[in-house]
Amino acid sequence: MQATHWIAVAAGGALGAVLRAFIYELFVLTRNPHLHHYPTLTVNVVGSIIMGVCWYLLVEKAMLPPAWKIFVMTGFLGALTTFSTFSLDLMRLLQSDQLLTALAYGVGSVLVCLLGTWLGYQGIRMVV
């Protein structure tokens, strides 16, 4: 990979990490410990929508140079979204015997994120 691509990943990752931290802070302000999994769901759904849009624009239509794909899809979205925190949130729900909430969160997250990616993809196709 070229040096500019590494820089694109790092810059995108920095922005994605900052946005993720900001979203988590918004939820912390509610001071409700039962909402611990909502910021993860939020960043994953938002990231999925953006991924669908970017796949169409940056991969299928190649509307920007390749460095933008790496900046957004690998760097920014890689830092913004999180499967590991999703797994931890799910484990915490299971450990606290919130089985129905854990099931809804696990299945719901996957379905809503998939739907978000599809909607982002289909939405941008209609516009562009």
76-126 pLDDT, tens per residue?
A: 999 999 999 999 999 999 999 999 999 999 999 999 999 999 999 999 999
Asked if residue 34 has pLDDT above 90, the reply is no
Nearest CA to 55 out of 122, 6, 7 is that of 122
Residue 32: pLDDT band with limits 50, 70, 90 = confident
Nearest CA to 77 out of 126, 33, 117 is that of 117
Whole-model pTM above 0.95? no
Could you tell me where the DSSP H helices lie in the chain? 3-28, 38-54, 66-69, 77-80, 83-95, 99-127
